[in-house]
């Protein structure tokens, strides 16, 4: 059986998408995409001196440009079929029909068939940063809304316990700092429990070098800065953030051969999950291959051969 490429969490890295599409043509593969097209705007895109209303307008303009680029890149490679769901950073309002592009199919809106396998999906997430709540894809999953008669299921959110470990610090007031990337987790591992997090916080953008200098801040701002400056590695918490309902979904399903998801950038994993559904005498014990390919924005993706239950994690160093 032909292999499939699995990607997730593009976040505006369209050069990376183009590399994968070229690789898909070279290797004659199609693509499963777990969502999150829209990237992270910088100061040039949304100046910090704008008020909140102006920032929201600018962000929507930024997101529209990102989506337009995404469609253009996909359609440059019509030989490749892409089967996708939206991520929580993506805007449902940008999707006019059951396709994201001419060769990119929204399998949440309409299931598709490839190689005699039926593909379904479920996009979005139950949480999004406050800045995006007006437009991002926020949803709560219910079992009754999940299609069970599928061979391949594409989700944005991961299954609880599989490829879903998040490292974070609770600041308070409903705010948290998340260490989103694999490189951040690797940097954390190198630190001793009492080592400072200042350099890492500067690297991920939650603290600025200017904050370390003595200057007058508002009491509220200074309190947060002082808190961040005193953080140590031992203050970082880790937990599984995947969905229990998705775990129940695959454990009680005999049909799904492959479940792919992203959302958690720090994980790359593949695990066989045995069904808990009742099995008749002589019936095969069913398993679902649960896969997180890692974020494409960091150059990570996976190749999977369902019939052989084989997964290969790939980085750009291996395909350039």
Per-residue pLDDT at 155: 95
Q: Are residues 155 and 11 in the same domain?
A: yes
Q: Are residues 261 and 299 in the same domain?
A: yes
Per-residue pLDDT at 199: 86
Per-residue pLDDT at 279: 59
Instruction: Name residue 256's beta-bridge partners.
Output: none
Q: Are residues 70 and 151 in the same domain?
A: yes
Q: In order along the chain (320 residues), what is the average pLDDT of each group of 10 residues?
A: 90 96 96 95 80 83 94 97 94 84 93 92 76 66 82 94 84 70 81 87 76 65 81 86 90 89 87 72 74 94 92 78
Q: Are residues 118 and 48 in the same domain?
A: yes
Which range of residues forms the domain containing residue 313? 4-163+242-318
Per-residue pLDDT at 124: 86
Phi, psi for residue 303 in degrees, rounded to 5 = -115, 140
The full DSSP string for 210-268 is: GGGS-----HHHHHHHHHHHT-BGGG-EEEE-SBHHHHHHHHT-SS-SEEE----TT--
Per-residue pLDDT at 137: 74
Within 13 Å, how many C-alpha atoms sit on residue 108's CB side? 21
Q: Are residues 265 and 205 in the same domain?
A: no
Q: Are residues 22 and 48 in the same domain?
A: yes
Please give the Cα distance from 60 to 75 (Å, whole number): 23
pLDDT tens-digit map of 8-34: 999 999 999 999 999 999 999 999 999
Last residue of a domain, one of 196, 212, 238: 238
Per-residue pLDDT at 282: 60
Q: Are residues 114 and 185 in the same domain?
A: no
Q: What crossing angle do the helices spanning 52-75 and 14-27 adopt, rounded to 10°?
A: 20
Last residue of a domain, one of 238, 262, 291: 238
Q: Are residues 86 and 128 in the same domain?
A: yes
Last residue of a domain, one of 238, 263, 297: 238
Q: Are residues 197 and 311 in the same domain?
A: no
Q: Are residues 249 and 313 in the same domain?
A: yes
Instruction: Name residue 303's beta-bridge partners.
Output: 5, 312
CB burial of 297-316 (b: ≥16 within 10 Å; e: otherwise) equals bbbbbbbbebeeeebebbeb
Cα torsion angle, 243, 8, 40, 315, sign: positive
pLDDT tens-digit map of 101-148: 999 999 999 999 988 899 999 998 876 555 555 667 777 777 777 888
Q: Are residues 9 and 126 in the same domain?
A: yes
Domain at 82, CATH number: 3.60.21.10
Q: Are residues 145 and 256 in the same domain?
A: yes
Per-residue pLDDT at 132: 59
Give the chain's domain count: 2
């Amino acid at each position: 059986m032909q292999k499939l490429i699995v990607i997730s969490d593009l976040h505006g890295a369209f050069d990376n998408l183009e590399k994968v599409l070229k690789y898909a043509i070279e290797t004659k593969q199609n693509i499963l995409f777990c969502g999150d097209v829209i990237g992270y705007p910088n100061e040039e895109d949304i100046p910090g001196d704008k008020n909140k209303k102006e920032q929201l307008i600018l962000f929507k303009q930024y997101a529209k440009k990102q989506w337009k680029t995404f469609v253009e890149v996909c359609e440059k490679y019509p030989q490749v079929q892409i089967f996708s769901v939206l991520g929580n950073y993506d805007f449902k309002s940008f999707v006019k029909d059951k396709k994201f592009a001419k060769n990119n199919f929204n399998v949440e809106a309409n299931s598709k068939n490839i190689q005699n396998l039926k593909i379904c999906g479920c996009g979005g997430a139950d949480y999004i940063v406050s800045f995006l709540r007006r437009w991002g894809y926020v949803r709560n999953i219910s079992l009754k809304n999940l299609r069970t008669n599928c061979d391949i299921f594409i989700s944005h959110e991961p299954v609880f316990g599989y490829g879903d470990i998040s490292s974070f610090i609770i600041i308070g007031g409903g705010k948290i700092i998340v260490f989103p990337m694999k490189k951040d987790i690797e940097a954390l591992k190198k630190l001793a429990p009492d080592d400072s997090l200042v350099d890492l916080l500067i690297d991920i953008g939650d603290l600025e070098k200017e904050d370390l200098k003595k200057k007058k801040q508002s009491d509220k701002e200074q309190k947060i800065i002082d808190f961040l400056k005193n953080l140590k590695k031992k203050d970082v918490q880790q937990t599984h953030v995947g969905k229990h309902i998705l775990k129940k979904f695959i454990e009680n399903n005999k049909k799904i051969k492959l479940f792919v998801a992203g959302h958690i950038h720090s994980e790359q994993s593949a695990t066989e999950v045995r069904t808990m559904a009742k099995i008749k005498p002589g019936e095969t014990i069913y398993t679902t291959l649960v896969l997180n390919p890692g974020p494409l924005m960091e150059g990570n993706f996976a190749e999977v051969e369902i019939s052989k239950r084989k997964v290969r994690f790939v980085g750009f160093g291996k395909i350039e």
